Amino acid sequence: MSRELKSLTVEELLARWPFAQQFLGDQGHENLTDQPEAVLAEVLDSELLEQLGDFLADMESFLGTSEQKVSEVTIRGGRAKDGSDESVRELTVKVGEIVCIVGPTGSGKSRLLADIEWVARGDTPTGRHVLINGEVPGDKWRFDSEYKLVAQLSQNMNFVMDLTVQEFLALHAESRQAADPEEKIQRIWSWANELAGEPFGLDTPVTSLSGGQSRALMIADTAVLSASPVVLIDEIENAGIDRQQALEILIQQEKIVLMATHDPILALMGDRRVIIANGAMSQVIEPSEQEKANLTELRELDARLMGLRHRLRRGERLDTI
C-alpha cells in the first residue's frame, strides 16, 4: 500500500481514510492537515510511508472497510428436497444485476438466500456451493466480520435502540469511519423519506418508525454505508415503500441484489428470475419482450394503487378513483 500512498496528496489521503489524521498526529505531523495539496512522498520518508500503509491496512481490517472487489457470486446447484439433483446446475449473478427468486410459500426461497449468506460449501441441507469471483471462498468469508458478503433485509425490521434517526445513522457512520458522515446521513435520510412516502424527521425515534419507514431507512442505509457487496431481500412487496426506486438505489451503489418475492412487478423488474420448486432451483427465466411491455401497464396500475393509499392516509374519501 505504501507505493499507492506516494502519489496521493494529504487531502486525498484524508478523504479516503479519515482516521489517517490520528496516525499523522501521533507521528508529530498534525500540521500536514494545513497543507492539503502536499504530496505524501515529498513530506514523509519511505519508512513512515510504510508504517502509514500498515496502519491503514490494520484499521481497514478492524473496521471491515477494506475493498472486497466482489464482481460476481456463483451458486452451484445441489439437491432438491427429495434428494434429486437440482435442475439449475449453476447460476452467476454480477454486480449491478437484480435476480428475483420466486416460488410457492415453503418451496425453498429463503433457504437459497440462507445458502448464499452462509457461503455454502456443500455443508447445508441443499448441498449447494457458493463461489466468489469464480473461486472457492476462504474461511474469512464465513467467519471474519471484515469480509461480510451479505447484507440481508428481512421481512421484519424492528428497532430496539432508544436513539433518534440522526443518532442511529451517526453511530453507524462513525463505526464505518465514513468520510463526510454528515453528507451521508443527509443522503440516507432523504432517500428513506422518498422511499417510504411517509415523511419522518432526523429527530424521530427509530422505535416509533412504521414498518415501511424502518424498511426504507435500512435500504438507504445499506446502499450508502454497508460494505457488503450482496444484498438479500426477503419479501419487500408489503413494506409500503417505493419498490422500483429502492432497487434503483441499490443498483446505483453497485450492489448484487437477490430478492425473494411474490410480486409480479418486482419479478418482472429483475434481470432474471429463478423459479424454486421442491426446495430446488428448477429454472431460470429472462423477461420476454411481452413481459416487459406488461410491466409498463402493471407499473401504471401500481402507481394508481399507491395514490389511493396516500389518499386514504390523508383521510380522503375514495368515491372517485
Q: Are residues 211 and 159 in the same domain?
A: yes
pLDDT of residue 112: 93
Range of the domain at 8: 2-63
pLDDT of residue 174: 84
Lateral strand order in the sheet of 150-153? 150-153, 230-234, 256-260, 98-102, 272-277, 280-285
- Residue 245 inside a domain? The answer is yes
Q: Which candidate, 76, 106, 116, places its Cα nearest to that of 258?
A: 116
- Residue 320 inside a domain? The answer is no
- Residue 129 inside a domain? The answer is no
Least confident interval from 12-26, 96-110, 203-217, 245-259 = 12-26
Looking at per-residue confidence, does 227 or 147 come out higher?
A: 227
Least confident interval from 62-66, 93-97, 296-300 = 62-66
Q: Are residues 194 and 280 in the same domain?
A: yes
Confidence band of 316 (pLDDT split at 50, 70, 90): very high
pLDDT of residue 127: 97
Q: Are residues 278 and 165 in the same domain?
A: yes
Instruction: Taking the CA atoms of 194, 195, 198 and 202 in sequence, report the sign of the dihedral they define.
Output: negative
Q: Are residues 229 and 100 in the same domain?
A: yes
Q: What is the pLDDT of residues 33-72, one digit of tens each?
A: 788 888 888 888 888 888 888 887 767 655 555 545 788 9
Q: What is the pLDDT of residues 97-153, one digit of tens each?
A: 999 999 998 999 989 989 998 999 999 999 999 999 999 888 888 877 667 888 887
Q: Are residues 186 and 250 in the same domain?
A: yes
Least confident interval from 89-98, 244-253, 278-287, 310-319 = 244-253
Average pLDDT over residues 305-317: 86
pLDDT of residue 176: 77
Q: Are residues 100 and 28 in the same domain?
A: no
- Separation CA 297–CA 313 (nearest Å): 25
The dihedral over CA atoms of 32, 47, 2, 60, expressed in degrees to the nearest 10, equals -80
Q: Are residues 54 and 189 in the same domain?
A: no
Q: Are residues 270 and 222 in the same domain?
A: yes
Q: What is the pLDDT of residues 158-168, one digit of tens each?
A: 666 778 999 99
* SS3 category, 150: strand
pLDDT of residue 30: 78
- Residue 305 inside a domain? The answer is no
pLDDT of residue 274: 96
Confidence band of 237 (pLDDT split at 50, 70, 90): low
| Residues in contact with 52: Cβ distance below 8 Å, sequence separation at least 6, in sequence order | 2, 5, 20, 23, 40, 44
- Residue 123 inside a domain? The answer is no
pLDDT of residue 159: 66
CATH number of the domain encompassing residue 245: 3.40.50.300
- The set of cell numbers assigned to 162 is 432508544
- Separation CA 16–CA 179 (nearest Å): 7
- Residue 119 inside a domain? The answer is no
179 within 8 A of 154, measured Cβ to Cβ: no
Q: Are residues 100 and 234 in the same domain?
A: yes
Q: What is the pLDDT of residues 176-219, one digit of tens each?
A: 777 788 999 999 999 999 888 788 999 999 989 888 888 889 88
Strands 72-76 and 90-94: antiparallel
Q: Are residues 57 and 170 in the same domain?
A: no
pLDDT at 284 over 80: yes
How many domains, the chain?
2
